[in-house]
Amino acid sequence: MTDADRARRIFGLETEYGVQHWNPEGRPLSPEEVVRYLFRPVVEWGHSSNVFVSNGSRLYLDVGSHPEYATAECSTLDELIASDAAGDLILHDLVTRAQERMAADGIGGRIHLYRNNADSSGSSYGSHENYLLRRRTEYRRLTEALVPFLVSRQILVGAGRVVPAGTWPEGDGAAHFAFSQRADFVQDGVSSSTTRSRPIINTRDEPHADASEYRRLHVIVGDTSLSEHTHLLRFGATDLMLRMIEAGFPLGDRVLAHPTLAVRQISHDLTGTARVALRDGDASALELQEHYLERARAFVAAEGAHHERVEEILTLWEDVIEAVRTGDRSRIEDRIDWAIKLRMLEDYRARQDLDWGSARLAQLDLAFHDIDPDRGLFRLLLRRGAAARLLPEDAGRLAVDAAPPTTRARVRADFIARARQRGLGYAVDWTTLKLTDHPLHAIAAKDPFDASSDAVDRLFERIG
């Protein structure tokens, strides 16, 4: 690994999508029936419902009939945001094709896919962040320092949620708006489980790289982001926290006494002032985030910015803290998911004279997350300029077929393209590339920073 590689980090994002079939003229299909239509073309060309696609990312069907898209390995935040946007476009294309097949079978209605984290039946599905760490980092110390940041981070990057009456009995039980969709489903602080016990950090040690040098931090407490600026702050601030911890930069003792209680308390308090218990004393989400921002600014002043968006991240971090503290969201309500949604819902509430328990507000909350470019309310706000872009408008479309050029995803995509062009069977995973008829020529790709296709060139030269 070069000095330039040490200044970078590999990022990845796994997004699980909610599925719904709406059919006013007949029986709606179950999610299981919908995903069979949805994944039929995937199975036809990939012979599986678990495949790597042309941009080096992974597309698969997860437990509970949730389509899932895992971005290719990215070493810049711009790459990550574009690769994630490509997933929405790939899934929407599958929706369009599935509806054509359903129509041919005499089934009406529409399929909806949602980038959210909770459905009306009380189920939750995830948005999992991945950060590559060097193995020498002491993991217990890292997770202990990181959990209070992640628990309070929802005031920055939560997706926002209309909470039904009775959901939060610790308050007055009334319907209300909360920062996070995921918070009420978190059951543990740090754990190796992702389904039986949903933790803040999953400790399962699967680096998808050379295990002697790397491990992977798997964060599963986050909400699914829609705004590109929310993506930037979510991953950018967390990356800064990791760099401070790895460098031994002093962060102070902010260990939470009860992380799973604290994550709920913070989510349901839009003022950011609810006191949560620490191992020593207590603090509010605002105080925690103010502390971490001050430390991040001191770290950057001492060490320098490691990429060109660092100052933008710090400024946005401060803007959101100020918006929560003052209640004036005007500076963030076109950039931060929960604030964009809250503005939309409050405008509608005022026009229609509704309270937070209105079924119509719950419907709008769900429609906000629809990935359909013509029906999703966030997409509508984006087209109208009420939600801001960070990247060029065509960045996601370009990333559908183009892997991030700075990581081994480029090698994987090159291998897949050449194998398909020649009509050769192949099998790939995160670290291995092989042609099924030439198993002795498999390529091991354990260095996620290696974007050279030399090994792929040699393989295809050998087989002629």
71 is in an annotated binding site: yes
Pairing of strands 276-277, 214-219: unpaired
Backbone angles phi, psi at 148, to 5 degrees: -65, -35
68 is in an annotated binding site: yes
348, two tokens: 């509608």
Q: How far apart are CA 27 and CA 47, in angstroms?
A: 30
Contacts by 272-278, CB closer than 8 A, 24 or more apart: 272/155, 272/324, 272/325, 276/151, 278/148, 278/253, 278/254
Q: How far apart are CA 415 and CA 214, in angstroms?
A: 24
Residue type, 317: W
Q: How far apart are CA 309 and CA 317, in angstroms?
A: 12
129 is in an annotated binding site: no
140 is in an annotated binding site: no
317 is in an annotated binding site: no
Concerning whether 93 is annotated as a catalytic residue, the answer is no
Q: Which of 62, 78, 319, 414 is catalytic?
A: 62
Sign of CA dihedral 382, 384, 387, 392: positive
25 is in an annotated binding site: no
Which of 220, 306, 255, 9 is closest to 142 using CA atoms? 255
Q: How far apart are CA 435 and CA 21, in angstroms?
A: 38
Residues with a catalytic annotation lie at 62
Instruction: Give the residue numbers of the binding site for ATP.
Output: 58, 71, 430
Instruction: Give the residue numbers of the binding site for Mg(2+).
Output: 14, 60, 68
Instruction: Give the residue numbers of the binding site.
Output: 14, 58, 60, 68, 71, 430
